[in-house]
Amino acid sequence: MAALAGLPLAASGTASAATDHNHLGDFWKNTSLGDTGLTIEVGSSNTMILRNDYYGNNMQVINNDGDAIFAYSANKKAIDASGKVYVDGNLEVTGQKNFVQTVQTANGEKGVAYTAVEADQAQTETTGVAEFDGGRAEIDLPERFGMVTSDDEDLVVQLTPYDVDVPGLAVTERTTDHIVVESRDGTGDFEFSYTVRGVREGFEDADVVRDSA
């Protein structure tokens, strides 16, 4: 942990801002404060910076018997991350999951927020546009779809024809590799869109209704 200058340290006293402190390689451990742990307090006009300029290293917060990090802000963002966020495990939220894209409008620059689609399954999905040839269409699905989609769960296929004069349609084959769509009378040459949904492999039995945390 580098350069904690001017920050009160509950486990190790207070580092003075008058000198340049370098705590690289230090191991800070609380041995006398009971359940308090290590407390770092920053004044209202200061910013706490934990910085690591060495390639291949990172800052780790480890708790083997409880929550590792609790972030709280009464009026602002509790966490503001710039860059990629990698989660090795489940991500659970009680609010919305949005992407926000900056756009130009007649009223100036705005942010457009699109919300992630929610479901009671860990769904996978692939979509596209195909064309009937003599009343039949065989569609090879992307290899990546089959790599992550369970073979043990039913696939759901949705079709939308792009023609008003269309005979009845049916999905006669559906696997994670391909689907086959046929018309009722074996005729027709027209475009249609398709959406294939499955369940992510390894997540077939995910709990939906469970005890509150």
- Residue boundaries of the structural domains of the chain: 1-86, 123-199
In this predicted structure, the answer to whether residue 98 has a pLDDT above a threshold of 80 is yes
pLDDT class of 206 with cuts at 50, 70, 90: confident
In this predicted structure, the answer to whether residue 28 has a pLDDT above a threshold of 70 is no
Residue 108 CA to its chain's centroid (Å): 30
Range from 71-75, 148-152, 160-164 carrying the lowest mean pLDDT = 71-75
Question: Which of the pair, 156 or 83, is modelled with greater confidence?
Answer: 156
Each residue of 123-150: b (16+ CB within 10 Å) or e?
bbebeeebebeebebebebeeebbeebb
In this predicted structure, the answer to whether residue 29 has a pLDDT above a threshold of 70 is no
Residue 18's Cβ-side half-sphere holds a number of Cα atoms within 13 Å equal to: 2
Contact between 194 and 139 under an 8 Å Cβ cutoff? The reply is: yes
Mention the CATH class of domain 123-199.
mainly beta
Average of per-residue pLDDT across 121-142 = 96
Residue 195 CA to its chain's centroid (Å): 22
Tell me what pLDDT residue 25 has: 55
In this predicted structure, the answer to whether residue 35 has a pLDDT above a threshold of 90 is no
Question: Which of the pair, 170 or 12, is modelled with greater confidence?
Answer: 170
pTM as predicted: 0.75
